[in-house]
Amino acid sequence: TSSINSNDQPDPASMAATRSTSKNAPPTPLRDGFHLVPSHPIHYDLDLTTTSPTSPDPHTPPHSFTDITYHVSTTDNCARIAFNRPDVLHAFRPTTINEIRQALDYAQDDTRVGVVLLASNIVEGRTPAFC
């Protein structure tokens, strides 16, 4: 597919439009696409860590996570999967891996999610750990 439109101009929605045709030109401020990323904090309006069979959310099957938390921002189309085992510095165990796999499956099937962030929950008085 080409990023040139019918007027022989770069498509403004493509990354090619931010590149210079000169090999010696300095990088442009828009070259990395960072202008497309919102700079405001993400507000997660759905806490899907635990859902019941009678949950009003049709996008997520019933489940109950213990080793992770799962939140979705419907305004930013983003899901946050956070490790939730601060007592052991968020160390993984088989349950953790299975829950992450299940949450990624839910995020993949959820049309509200375009990006998945992996993080760890921070507890006051503890050193955050995530490697």
pTM score above 0.75 = no
Tens of pLDDT along the chain (131 residues)? 455 555 565 555 555 555 566 677 776 777 666 776 778 888 999 888 887 666 666 666 677 899 999 999 999 999 999 999 888 888 889 999 999 999 999 999 999 999 999 998 887 877 666 65
Environment class of 59 (CB within 10 Å of its CB; exposed 0-12, middle 13-18, buried 19+): middle
pLDDT at residue number 53: 63
pLDDT at residue number 97: 94
Rounded to an integer, what distance in angstroms lies between the CA atom of residue 42 and that of residue 61?
24
DSSP annotation of 87: G
DSSP annotation of 4: B
Q: Which residues contact 10 (CB under 8 A, 6 or more apart)?
A: 3, 4, 16, 17
Is residue 3 within 8 Å of 14, Cβ to Cβ? yes
